Structure 1
Amino acid sequence: MRAIGIDIGGTKIAGAVVDEFGEILRSERRPSPAGDPVLMEQTIVEMINSLAEGEEIAAAGVAAAGFIDAAQSSVYYAPNINWRNEPLREKLEKRVSVPVIIENDANAAGWAEFRFGAGRLVSDMVMLTIGTGVGGAIVADDRLLRGGFGAGAELGHLRIVPGGLACGCGQHGCIEQYGSGRALLRLANEIADAGGIGQALASAREAAGALDGGIVGSLIAQRDPGAVAALRQLGHWIGQAAASLSAVLDPQLFVIGGGVAASGDLLIEPIRASYLDHLPARGYHPEPDFVIAELVNDAGVVGAADLARIYVGDHR
């Protein structure tokens, strides 16, 4: 049972034919027309039809950032595409030859890690994706948790600082403002401004005109004290959020993905330390493991394809 996974990103759309073991058999990449919803729909249709050519395909899953309804059919709201209450599955199924489901991109990536990656040996898992923002996925008792309306597991908007920094969601103090790639750049700039261990960050900023993720990531890899200090502050906030999530969900495993996760143990160590510092009733129940995601850039397409395959199997 082969399925197609489509992962819509801000700059590119990735698509692949995926088998039942999570292996990618064929793949495509196209530029993402994020500002044009009509062209976006056309591009998705073309990719599905192209990937399906000559294949026996059970279904196609389309993963996008935003709120998706519980029926995996409509997009309530997509922040980077002008989709508002968009009946996307219905529109796509009129133009392709296979059943289609729609899924949140973080859910798709988390499901891929659960099925085929770092979480494949557990039944209860939380994934936190640390990229430009903070995404998340929850698997509880071997099932992806979507919530009653389909828009659950928006973990980046867990509020950890009352009256804290303003967030794009309209609230203040969300973990996305303290534990994301954007937050890492803010912390790095603050350390650069302070001098001392921020000297290399300040020099790099002056040479380049501004710090970006590549510069800070390179300095982290070189174990620059200022860059590592910024990463440790980031890990502190993520660990605090994880402790709150653990009190509700009691996962066996936290999987950390996204671009910032390339720092590996340098990120995991402060997350784990902060988690233990903030864990309710520490020492009186088992503690979860913290690991880096394994599937990296392929997680979205693999998860979307697998969820589509499961949906079709359940609804035959």
Structure 2
Amino acid sequence: MEHFLGIDIGGTNVKCGLVSSEGELLEKTKYATTELQKENSTMESLVKVIGWELEKHSNVKKVGIGIPGTLSKDRNSTIDLPNIPDLAHTNVMGTLKAAYPDIIFHMENDANAAALGEFYFSKATMPDDFIFITLGTGVGGACIMDRKIFKGGNGNGLEIGHIIAGNGKTIENNIGKKGILGMALTTLEGYKGKSVLSDMGSLNAKKVIKAAQEEDKLAMEIFHEVGKYLGEAIVSAVRLFDIHTIIIGGGVSKTFHLVEKSMYKKIYDFLSPYYTDDLRIRLASLRNEAGIIGAASLCFIED
């Protein structure tokens, strides 16, 4: 059985994993991004980290890398990486191939990689076409069309988090973690009822999510609003691509049961029965391992 190395690069951590051709995560290592950046640039640190991993797993010949941001159409270089700015505008593939000439590398946007991983290794039966939405620090989007990643005209299509919502902000600004926190702080200011959020000290998105899961009224109202914005994003994506299966992943997806009602209301308000009669919306199955397994699944792409 062939093994691959999946590298999930994030603003907080660089996660590495040994993944089998069956999609099983055999081993995982996590490196704090800020620690890696203390002595070297992110690119220099990435070369070192991959070297350490290849030394541990000498049988690995293919490495897949997921990166949060826009990439060149040929998938050799990064363009804009808001969460890792010093890795932007870097010839990542050229540097890695020079350092490890015997290794085959693949690089892709992290949401695209996660969608591909779900396509190959989901515990549920997957269609040939689906839209994938990740809800986390940001809001990412991807599309598998005819069993392949849809990349758009210049390689960076389906940036669903940057669709403009009805309030004039992007979807990500509304329902990414910063958006959820901002909504909580604004709502709390004029709130006259009781809420556990008032007693939580310095708020963050995790605390708002926890409060909503404990059925705090104010927190649940916030996620009612989150559902509306998610519904708007789904309406736009379905209208543009005419794809009726939506898979939702990412850390914030654990609150999906809190957003469903308002999400579906928005969907049924704006989509005709042609779309809604066979619309399927469900959670991704790979959960927290989606980044690593998705990155490794890039190795299945023909060279």
TM-score by length of 1: 0.86
Does structure 2 conserve the Cα–Cα contact (< 8 Å) formed by 1:189 and 1:201?
A: no
Map 1:45-60 → 2, pairs under 5 A? 45-53=47-55, 54-60=57-63
Query: Which residue pairs with 2:45 in the alignment?
Result: 43
Label 1:286 to 1:228 Cα distance change in 2 as closer, same or farther (>3 A): same
Does structure 2 conserve the Cα–Cα contact (< 8 Å) formed by 1:200 and 1:224?
A: yes
Task: Give, in whole Å, the separation in 2 of the partners of 1:218 and 1:76.
Answer: 35
Label 1:89 to 1:296 Cα distance change in 2 as closer, same or farther (>3 A): same
Pick aligned residue for 1:274 from 266, 271, 275: 266
1:203 aligns with 2:195: no
1:286 aligns with 2:277: yes
Match for 1:179: what amino acid? I
Does structure 1 conserve the Cα–Cα contact (< 8 Å) formed by 2:69 and 2:109?
A: yes
What per-residue deviation string (whole Å, max 9, x for no partner) do you get for residues 214-250 of structure 1? 2211111111111111001011111011111101112
Map 1:206-221 → 2, pairs under 5 A? 207-208=200-201, 210-221=202-213
What per-residue deviation string (whole Å, max 9, x for no partner) do you get for residues 251-279 of structure 1? 23211222211113222332222212221
Secondary structure, counterpart of 2:107 in structure 1: strand
1:64 aligns with 2:67: yes
CA shift, 1:302, in A, is: 0.8
Does structure 2 conserve the Cα–Cα contact (< 8 Å) formed by 1:188 and 1:201?
A: no
Task: List gaps (5 residues or longer) in structure 2.
Answer: none
Secondary structure, counterpart of 2:137 in structure 1: coil
Query: Which residue pairs with 2:300 in the alignment?
Result: 310
Task: Give, in whole Å, the separation in 2 of the partners of 1:179 and 1:214.
Answer: 13
Pick aligned residue for 2:77 from 69, 74, 93: 74
Match for 2:284: what amino acid? A
Match for 1:300: what amino acid? G
Task: Give, in whole Å, the separation in 2 of the partners of 1:149 and 1:239.
Answer: 27
CA shift, 1:285, in A, is: 6.1
Does structure 2 conserve the Cα–Cα contact (< 8 Å) formed by 1:68 and 1:104?
A: yes
Query: Which residue pairs with 2:154 in the alignment?
Result: 149
1:261 aligns with 2:267: no
Label 1:143 to 1:274 Cα distance change in 2 as closer, same or farther (>3 A): same
Secondary structure, counterpart of 1:243 in structure 2: helix
Label 1:118 to 1:255 Cα distance change in 2 as closer, same or farther (>3 A): farther
Label 1:94 to 1:284 Cα distance change in 2 as closer, same or farther (>3 A): closer
CA shift, 1:284, in A, is: 6.6
Does structure 2 conserve the Cα–Cα contact (< 8 Å) formed by 1:41 and 1:92?
A: no
CA shift, 1:77, in A, is: 2.2
Secondary structure, counterpart of 1:66 in structure 2: coil
**Deviating more after overlay: 264-273 vs 137-146:** 264-273
Does structure 2 conserve the Cα–Cα contact (< 8 Å) formed by 1:35 and 1:82?
A: no
Does structure 1 conserve the Cα–Cα contact (< 8 Å) formed by 2:5 and 2:16?
A: yes
Query: Which residue pairs with 1:170 in the alignment?
Result: none
Map 1:131-142 → 2, pairs under 5 A? 131-142=136-147
Query: Which residue pairs with 1:190 in the alignment?
Result: 186
Does structure 2 conserve the Cα–Cα contact (< 8 Å) formed by 1:6 and 1:44?
A: no
CA shift, 1:203, in A, is: 2.0
Runs of 4+ in 1 over 6 A off after TM superposition: none
Task: Give, in whole Å, the separation in 2 of the partners of 1:81 and 1:120.
Answer: 38
Query: Which residue pairs with 2:28 in the alignment?
Result: 27
TM-score by length of 2: 0.90
**Deviating more after overlay: 44-53 vs 288-297:** 44-53
Task: Give, in whole Å, the separation in 2 of the partners of 1:83 and 1:77.
Answer: 9
Match for 1:11: what amino acid? T
Label 1:82 to 1:120 Cα distance change in 2 as closer, same or farther (>3 A): farther
Query: Which residue pairs with 2:14 in the alignment?
Result: 13
Secondary structure, counterpart of 2:99 in structure 1: coil
What per-residue deviation string (whole Å, max 9, x for no partner) do you get for residues 1-31 of structure 1? 3211111111211001111111112221111
Equivalences, count: 298
Using the aligned pairs only, state the percent identity: 27
What per-residue deviation string (whole Å, max 9, x for no partner) do you get for residues 165-205 of structure 1? xxxxxxxx3211222222222222233223244x215522x
Query: Which residue pairs with 1:177 in the alignment?
Result: 173
Query: Which residue pairs with 2:224 in the alignment?
Result: 232
Does structure 2 conserve the Cα–Cα contact (< 8 Å) formed by 1:74 and 1:88?
A: yes
Match for 1:88: what amino acid? V
Label 1:118 to 1:266 Cα distance change in 2 as closer, same or farther (>3 A): farther
Query: Which residue pairs with 2:288 in the alignment?
Result: 297
CA-based RMSD: 2.2
Task: Give, in whole Å, the separation in 2 of the partners of 1:117 and 1:50.
Answer: 29
Label 1:75 to 1:119 Cα distance change in 2 as closer, same or farther (>3 A): farther
Label 1:194 to 1:202 Cα distance change in 2 as closer, same or farther (>3 A): farther
